[in-house]
């Protein structure tokens, strides 16, 4: 697990303050809310001047100060919203804001607001399983290297989930989410607040082990792969398309639903009907 935010080491800062060339000038920066966690202590919760060059974009400068561009929701440049690609001249006043949380009524937005696909770094196994339980598409392996995560994120247009700031600053990564909390449940809540939930029918339709999709199978087809008691006690069985793991309605699924309901009640979100019924066949 990455270090706690308060102990994050300073990252290599752009060499913009060396006075090379004739284009060096200062701009005034102010970072808001949790973005301050990424900054050197002397820059937190205050407006400060920092040298820029005419060739530096907002993205370059924000990352040079330690904040991954993936965590920036909006930037106001002299009180007007500006894209991260905007080049700076010096003399600007820059306010950098994090992504806004979705309001609870938007957590289950339905098909019109598709939830992105994700890739979790090798330290986030618990979060990956919890997200799969809710129906999120999450690639995860405990032996993923940072280079593999970055490459897969680029190839498959996935959002990178991590507590590694340096991973999010890699050039290949367009979308990411730094998990501020350490605990898995709190991380899951952060993801839901930022991206919403997959629409209701997706809950409990993915394999927790491999991210494959579950499909309904005949009871007779899994008779030799399920404990006798469970095979006799339950009617509905599901199999993972990828790894062939068998799932059935039992105490495990009941416990998962209870955990999901508790999480959603915690954040005041809607409760998709699928949490109260069997997985879709
Ligand atoms: Zn599987």
Q: Give me the pLDDT at residue 271, please.
A: 61
Q: What is the pTM of this model?
A: 0.84
Q: Please say whether the beta carbons of 177 and 136 come within 8 A.
A: no
Structure tokens at 225: 């792969």
Structure tokens at 100: 């806004």
Q: Give me the pLDDT at residue 281, please.
A: 38
Q: What is the pLDDT of residues 177-208, one digit of tens each?
A: 999 999 888 899 899 889 887 765 567 788 99
Alpha helical stretches, state H, the chain? 58-64, 125-134, 146-156, 165-168, 184-195, 228-233, 251-267
State the distance from the centre of ligand 1 to the C-alpha of 208, rounded, in angstroms.
7
Q: Give me the pLDDT at residue 2, please.
A: 36
State the distance from the centre of ligand 1 to the C-alpha of 140, rounded, in angstroms.
12
State the distance from the centre of ligand 1 to the C-alpha of 244, rounded, in angstroms.
6
CATH label, 5-98, candidates 3.10.20.740, 3.40.50.970, 3.10.20.30, 2.170.150.20: 3.10.20.30
How far is it, in rounded angstroms, from Cα 58 to Cα 31?
A: 13
Structure tokens at 126: 């618990």
State the distance from the centre of ligand 1 to the C-alpha of 9, rounded, in angstroms.
38
Q: Give me the pLDDT at residue 269, please.
A: 60
Q: Give me the pLDDT at residue 270, please.
A: 61
* SS3 at position 73: strand
State the distance from the centre of ligand 1 to the C-alpha of 152, rounded, in angstroms.
19
Q: What is the pLDDT of residues 266-281, one digit of tens each?
A: 776 666 555 554 444 3
Q: Give me the pLDDT at residue 19, please.
A: 41
Q: Give me the pLDDT at residue 13, please.
A: 40
The parts of the chain modelled with pLDDT lower than 70 are 1-23, 109-113, 199-202, 252, 268-281
Q: Give me the pLDDT at residue 198, please.
A: 77
Domain with CATH 3.10.20.30 in the chain: 5-98
State the distance from the centre of ligand 1 to the C-alpha of 214, rounded, in angstroms.
8
State the distance from the centre of ligand 1 to the C-alpha of 31, rounded, in angstroms.
42
State the distance from the centre of ligand 1 to the C-alpha of 242, rounded, in angstroms.
5
């Amino acid at each position: 697990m990455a270090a706690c935010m308060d102990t994050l080491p300073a990252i290599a800062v752009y060499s913009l303050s060396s006075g090379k060339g004739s284009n060096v000038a200062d701009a005034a920066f102010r970072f808001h809310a949790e973005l301050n966690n990424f900054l050197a202590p002397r820059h937190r919760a205050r407006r400060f001047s920092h040298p820029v060059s005419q060739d530096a974009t907002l993205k370059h400068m924000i990352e040079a100060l330690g904040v991954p561009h993936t965590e920036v929701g909006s930037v106001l440049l002299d009180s007007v919203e500006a894209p991260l690609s905007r080049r700076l001249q010096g003399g600007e006043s820059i306010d950098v804001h994090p992504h806004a949380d979705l309001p609870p009524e938007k957590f289950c937005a339905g098909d019109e607001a598709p939830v992105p696909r994700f890739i979790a770094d090798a330290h986030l196994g618990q979060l990956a399983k919890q997200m799969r339980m809710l129906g999120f598409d999450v690639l995860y392996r405990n032996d993923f290297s940072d280079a593999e995560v970055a490459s897969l994120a680029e190839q498959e247009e996935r959002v990178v989930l991590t507590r590694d700031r340096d991973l999010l600053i890699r050039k290949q990564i367009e979308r990411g989410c730094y998990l501020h909390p350490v605990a898995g449940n709190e991380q899951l809540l952060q993801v839901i607040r930022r991206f919403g939930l997959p629409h209701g029918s997706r809950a409990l339709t993915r394999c927790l082990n491999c991210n494959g999709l579950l499909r309904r199978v005949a009871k007779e087809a899994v008779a030799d792969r399920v404990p006798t008691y469970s095979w006799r006690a339950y009617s509905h069985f599901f199999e993972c398309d990828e790894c062939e793991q068998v799932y059935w309605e039992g105490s495990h699924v009941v416990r998962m639903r209870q955990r999901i309901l508790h999480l959603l009640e915690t954040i005041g979100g809607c409760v998709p009907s699928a949490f109260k019924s069997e997985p879709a066949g």
